[in-house]
Structure 1
């Protein structure tokens, strides 16, 4: 208990508290957005699933396209200003969407353009966030800082899913998007109040964007543990997108009782993410990447249980395990990157990490339906579990993954 109290002393640091509050509010805005946007678009006159698909694609494509550029920007400019700009840009996009839905002027190109703003904002905000944490948090408190930021984000995701759905039901998607935009604006104001000393990050010599991307790639590719785990996650995310996005809900509809069962699954996972963050505050493995990758093996459990037609309580317990393992992985991964990557290239390496990890996700969504039709839903879910396990075992063959050791730090 004394150790937890000592770690939580980080909350007395004004700069960290501002960053934590801003990040928590921003994630709350993000959690409002999916339900508000989906039902706001689908309730438009003449709107179809294809209409929603176009708008969501317009949001996701710029995020992928600009992710690497976002890393360059965050390594070149003060990250506090980059994050502030990203939050305000996100607010502008959602306020524009809300205005269109509330006024009834909803041409598809305008909706898509407003959604694209949020995609660009995401692409520039996330690499800056990864880079700004070690500028705000002392080296011996990095893991605690990442864990507390994760705890705030997870709590916001749970609260936002509930509050966002309630706001849509009571007031409509347009007003829910107004709330989302306001939350992003508040987060931007809080980031503006954050003061990061200019001398805390070494200033790199200015090059072209392509030269900066090449330098970032060299930093990324020169560390075996990074590119091996990113390759592992590109396959894992593909399987998880298929399992969470299509196959799990389909099986819940077919055999588990419908939306209530899948909501219980997601609730179990959400509780697990909070428990995982609490665990990660004090977990200090000497080989953090080895432990993080080993924790990926139990994440296959819920897909195995779903594929074997286990009882719902067992499946929910498996989802809880998945949530715990993924959040401990996330804290160990972020902390190790922030310790091992030079500060002046951290955001670029982070952007390669995010792009590589997410790039096969859409393929999982595309293949899930045909796989369920061809092999059956249960067998397709067991296939997802197999991809998770095999990709993890392959990553464990890497000496870089097994042998990277954390520095010995004296906690103050």
Structure 2
């Protein structure tokens, strides 16, 4: 496959505008976390607990409302849902920027605005996850997903650095103002994505009935619920031992700079595998995906057992590549096998399982490290991570799920 063929999805008008919209949006998001952190610290005189309150204010309503957000994204045009979400996000981020710049910001204001952002994200995320099959032909899904991943991986590497430069140069408020503008530009670009309007029968099901339909699909689809259940464990380990305990253990072994290099190596590995996925078709998406994500347990194990910088950089690079293989495989499995009319709902159940598990790992890892030692907890966590991946692969439905190779499917026609 040539590089020209790898870029084929960009010949689709709808995908081209969506790609531009998401590029702008991801650029803003990659800068927002750093800018928001410094803005909160500026407002609260460096109170570390305050940042936790602001972040929790965003996460809690998003998790609570995710399932209803999936119903909304399946009922209404997904481009409309995304536009409303983006405009509302621009308003909340713009309000935070204005308050910080004028010196009027107080902690309760930032918490309230972050909560509003979390509410609209609950609908925007399932809509974004479910829109891809409407933008490109089925045979272009892998390359389309790879192009989106390429943008995200690239900007995640450079975005925080740019944000930090903005914070130092002009202040956190202006950095947040830039993020607010990217939400607006993203919404405008989505206006050029023309998909047919969705129609609902007069006797359309209630929200609760549609939620139940989505749950029944998840429960009756073995490969789906097995992977989601497995990731309940995997995400708890990733959020707890790796991202919470990892920096503390690294500080005493490879140092803060070494930890930064390890995370950068993981991001570079992800980016490198994205380029591979642009050209090489991924067959058996969940088989290779689970094998790929199992590699993420290796750096957790190495950090606990033998924290040598060079070895950690190498295994982190490989783990990043494996993470991209799973991300690609999971999106292909969902987009090719879940009916479009319930795709956002099913994604919302998947997201709910992911987000709910993360605080568990974050809360448990501290007491466990105090009781048994951080190195020991990391070693056991790495082993459990790999074992969980192989337990998921015991399911024949996961191992044998094929690609849907029909080339007769085409993107939905543009609205007149």
Q: Output the TM-score relative to the length of structure 2.
A: 0.94
Q: Hey, what does 1:340 align to over in structure 2?
A: 337
Q: Hey, what does 1:357 align to over in structure 2?
A: 354
Alpha carbons of structure 1 residues 157 and 285: separation in structure 2 relative to 1, 3 Å = closer
Q: Hey, what does 1:93 align to over in structure 2?
A: 92
User: Secondary structure, in 3 states, of the residue corresponding to 2:253?
Assistant: helix
Quote how far apart the aligned CAs of 1:46 are: 4.2
Contact 1:271 1:320 in 2 (8 A): yes
Instruction: Find out whether 1:300 has 2:297 as its counterpart.
Output: yes
Quote how far apart the aligned CAs of 1:397 are: 1.4
Contact 1:231 1:357 in 2 (8 A): no
Q: Hey, what does 1:380 align to over in structure 2?
A: 377
Contact 2:92 2:114 in 1 (8 A): yes
User: Secondary structure, in 3 states, of the residue corresponding to 2:195?
Assistant: coil
Report the Cα distance in structure 2 between the residues aligned to 1:97 and 1:22, rounded to whole angstroms: 22
Report the Cα distance in structure 1 between the residues aligned to 2:224 and 2:322, rounded to whole angstroms: 19
Moved more, 397-406 or 336-345: 397-406
Q: Hey, what does 1:325 align to over in structure 2?
A: 322
Instruction: Find out whether 1:135 has 2:129 as its counterpart.
Output: no
Report the Cα distance in structure 2 between the residues aligned to 1:330 and 1:283, rounded to whole angstroms: 15
Contact 2:146 2:278 in 1 (8 A): yes
Quote how far apart the aligned CAs of 1:42 are: 0.9
Q: Hey, what does 2:118 align to over in structure 1?
A: 119
Report the Cα distance in structure 2 between the residues aligned to 1:387 and 1:395, rounded to whole angstroms: 12
User: Secondary structure, in 3 states, of the residue corresponding to 1:359?
Assistant: helix
Moved more, 62-71 or 364-373: 364-373
Report the Cα distance in structure 2 between the residues aligned to 1:20 and 1:311, rounded to whole angstroms: 39
After superposition, give the CA deviation of every residue in 1:194-245 in whole Å (9 maximum; x if it has no partner): 11133xx685762211111001111111110001001111110110111332
Quote how far apart the aligned CAs of 1:45 are: 4.6
User: Secondary structure, in 3 states, of the residue corresponding to 2:86?
Assistant: helix
Q: Hey, what does 2:391 align to over in structure 1?
A: 394
After superposition, give the CA deviation of every residue in 1:345-404 in whole Å (9 maximum; x if it has no partner): 000000001111221101111122222222222111112212211211211111211222
Alpha carbons of structure 1 residues 236 and 122: separation in structure 2 relative to 1, 3 Å = same
Q: Hey, what does 1:64 align to over in structure 2?
A: 63
Q: Hey, what does 1:253 align to over in structure 2?
A: 251
Q: Hey, what does 1:174 align to over in structure 2?
A: 173
Quote how far apart the aligned CAs of 1:253 are: 1.1
Report the Cα distance in structure 1 between the residues aligned to 2:78 and 2:398, rounded to whole angstroms: 29
Q: Hey, what does 1:242 align to over in structure 2?
A: 240
Alpha carbons of structure 1 residues 45 and 216: separation in structure 2 relative to 1, 3 Å = closer
Moved more, 339-348 or 96-105: 96-105
Contact 2:150 2:275 in 1 (8 A): yes
Quote how far apart the aligned CAs of 1:9 are: 2.0
After superposition, give the CA deviation of every residue in 1:245-299 in whole Å (9 maximum; x if it has no partner): 22211122111122x1111111101111111212222343442212211212211
Report the Cα distance in structure 1 between the residues aligned to 2:208 and 2:351, rounded to whole angstroms: 18
Report the Cα distance in structure 1 between the residues aligned to 2:199 and 2:400, rounded to whole angstroms: 28
Q: Hey, what does 1:213 align to over in structure 2?
A: 211
Q: Hey, what does 2:52 align to over in structure 1?
A: 53
Quote how far apart the aligned CAs of 1:410 are: 5.2
Alpha carbons of structure 1 residues 47 and 286: separation in structure 2 relative to 1, 3 Å = closer
Q: Hey, what does 1:366 align to over in structure 2?
A: 363
Report the Cα distance in structure 2 between the residues aligned to 1:170 and 1:410, rounded to whole angstroms: 51
Which runs of 5 or more residues in structure 2 are unaligned?
411-416
Contact 1:25 1:156 in 2 (8 A): no
How do 1:4-43 residues align onto structure 2 when only pairs under 5 Å count? Answer: 4-43=3-42
After superposition, give the CA deviation of every residue in 1:90-118 in whole Å (9 maximum; x if it has no partner): 11111111111112222322211111122
Report the Cα distance in structure 2 between the residues aligned to 1:20 and 1:288, rounded to whole angstroms: 23
Contact 1:87 1:187 in 2 (8 A): yes
Report the Cα distance in structure 2 between the residues aligned to 1:103 and 1:371, rounded to whole angstroms: 44
Q: Output the TM-score relative to the length of structure 1.
A: 0.95
User: Secondary structure, in 3 states, of the residue corresponding to 2:159?
Assistant: helix
Contact 1:242 1:384 in 2 (8 A): no
User: Secondary structure, in 3 states, of the residue corresponding to 1:240?
Assistant: helix
User: Secondary structure, in 3 states, of the residue corresponding to 1:360?
Assistant: helix
Q: Hey, what does 2:414 align to over in structure 1?
A: none
Quote how far apart the aligned CAs of 1:17 are: 1.4
Contact 2:133 2:335 in 1 (8 A): yes
Contact 1:10 1:16 in 2 (8 A): yes
Which runs of 5 or more residues in structure 1 are unaligned?
none
Alpha carbons of structure 1 residues 202 and 313: separation in structure 2 relative to 1, 3 Å = farther
Instruction: Find out whether 1:150 has 2:149 as its counterpart.
Output: yes
Report the Cα distance in structure 2 between the residues aligned to 1:269 and 1:173, rounded to whole angstroms: 27
